[in-house]
Amino acid sequence: MQKHIQASLAEAKRALDDLLANPQALAAIAAAGQTIVDALAGGGRIFSCGNGGSMCDAMHFAEELTGRYRDNRRGMAAIAISDPSHISCVGNDYGYDEIFARYLESHGRAGDVLLGLSTSGNSRNVIRAAEVARELGMKVIILTGRAGSKLEPLADVYVNTPGGRYADRVQELHIKALHILIELTERHFCPENYPEA
């Protein structure tokens, strides 16, 4: 059992080291952070979405902005598209591919940002959300684990964090990227929370 634990941690470390050594991915994370800061500074909101574990990450991202990440500060306008009644209603009436897009049709507007998570980059409901977001004049940030996906041409900022063969490593890198995005946002709006900067 110990050898499996060590192998798993070593694999995760390699994936993180690869991300740290990837200047294109780091530049994309920085661009995503600036996009979020610009939207919030202009009165916009950040909508996040994904499926399965990526939905959990989208929810985690939003609650860290509306709640608290490290130290006390005012809440920030972030919404995870995760309401079960909305998802079941739209899934039943329009199909699962429309669950995020329909929410954006109802609530999104120019100046907002969609943060979509898809480890494959090919999730049809995230693609539809990105299409609607662009129609509305929203900015689109995509976190994925693959280059050349169907979501790439729909993204204003495409953060690709390949973690290996399976989605779990990609999701582990996504949560690192999301925490960095939250920190960058806090550092901009609440520099007093980061006195060492």
* Residue ranges of the binding site: 51-53, 60, 64, 92-93, 118-120, 123, 171, 179
* Residue ranges of the binding site for Zn(2+): 60, 64, 171, 179
Burial class (CB in 10 A: 0-12, 13-18, 19+), 190: middle
Residues β-bridged to residue 141: 115, 157
* Residue ranges of the binding site for substrate: 51-53, 64, 92-93, 118-120, 123, 171
Burial class (CB in 10 A: 0-12, 13-18, 19+), 97: middle
CB 114 within 8 A of CB 139: yes
Cα angle, residue 139 at apex, residues 67 and 182 outer, rounded to 5°: 30
Is residue 49 helix, strand or coil?
A: strand
Is residue 33 helix, strand or coil?
A: helix
